[in-house]
Amino acid sequence: MVNRNVARSKNRWLLSGKATLLLMAVPCFVLLVAFVYLPLWGWSIAFFDYKAGLKFSQMDFMGFKSFTYMFKQPNFANVIRNTLVMSGLYFLTSPVPAIFAILLAEMNSKRVRQWIQTTTTLPYFISWVLVYAVFFSLFSVGDGIVNTLLLNFGWIKQPLNPLANPHIVWFFQTGIYLWKNLGFSAIIYIAAITSIDPELYDAASVDGAGRLNKIKHITVPGLVSTFLTLLLLGIGNLLNNGFEQYYLFYNAIVADKIEVLDYFIYRIGITMSDYSLSTAIGIFKTLFSILLITVANMIAKRVRGSGII
């Protein structure tokens, strides 16, 4: 009788769909282990004088020398400054996708709204190589489209060169990043707006509230939790600016302003073949990011009563 009950409970569990969901999660778990956890074995390179082609038994153990040598790099402080400045500018522009989503939601024409959303989301799926090619064709000094038009109209006397201007490179790169990610980032806020109870807007209309008051007292409060969650996740990526954008827009004139930590790791590891030092810098970046997200989560729990972890 007991065995029969056990068999029935197993059949119920299989028929309930939980087994199907578990099997669907298996490939994701395998990929997570293969591409996230197994590569952590490579962290051991930071503690050895790594040379390609040699076994660990043939390498000299250095301990934490790579980590101490990391801070002695002549331009390490400059790289950290560039990374923090770029991340700070990203944080300052983080409300822009939310504002853009609100403006889209307030549009009366569904066709125009869909067209704008599609055209602003499209750049997200364009590779950074093509993005660089577009901006190079627009702003190159020789035959750039923008310079050609401005010179022909007589609005400028000398061609502009924002691609090689160290004074505006931080703001220029922030603008490019915002242009590329604006539409895709707004999708999350659009989904949050659609989840707001429509009865709240109907009740506000009955009370005589206008469009601005509805945005102020209904839409914005409905987006606060989403915005704070994304902001806290962004704090954990404070040192992760990405690589492709800065690699492509890098040149000798703006090198001091555009070299961020991810590009610095590439230059040390691939260009200079110092794998131990580049791995140590990568470990430092990862551990610092974990510390930041932990502190941000603790602050969120104290302020809001709930965190993201």
From residue 293, alpha-carbon distances to 13, 84, 203, 309 in Å are 37, 15, 39, 9
- 17 domain-assigned: no
Q: What is the pTM of this model?
A: 0.82
> Is 225 inside a domain boundary?
yes
Q: What is the CATH number of the domain that holds 299?
A: 1.10.3720.10
Evaluate whether residue 37 is within a structural domain. no
Q: Is residue 131 part of a domain?
A: yes
* 39: three-class secondary structure by DSSP: helix
Q: Would you state the structure tokens that stand for residue 169, as one six-digit string?
A: 């490179």
Residue burial 52-74, b: 16+ Cβ < 10 Å; e: rest: eeeeeeebeebeebbbeebeeee
Let me know if residue 190 belongs to a domain. Answer: yes
Q: Is residue 12 included in any domain, yes or no?
A: no
254 part of a folded domain: yes
**Assigned domain for 119 exists:** yes
Range of the domain at 114: 48-304
Per-residue pLDDT of the chain (309 residues; tens, 9 = 90+): 545 555 555 556 555 666 777 788 889 899 989 988 888 888 888 888 877 777 767 778 888 888 888 888 888 899 999 999 999 999 999 999 999 999 998 888 889 988 999 999 999 999 999 999 999 888 887 777 888 888 888 787 888 888 888 999 999 999 999 999 999 999 999 999 988 888 888 888 888 888 888 888 888 988 888 888 888 888 888 888 888 999 999 988 998 999 999 999 999 988 888 888 899 998 999 888 888 888 888 877 777 666 666
Q: How far apart are CA 70 and CA 277, in angstroms?
A: 7
Domain count, the chain: 1
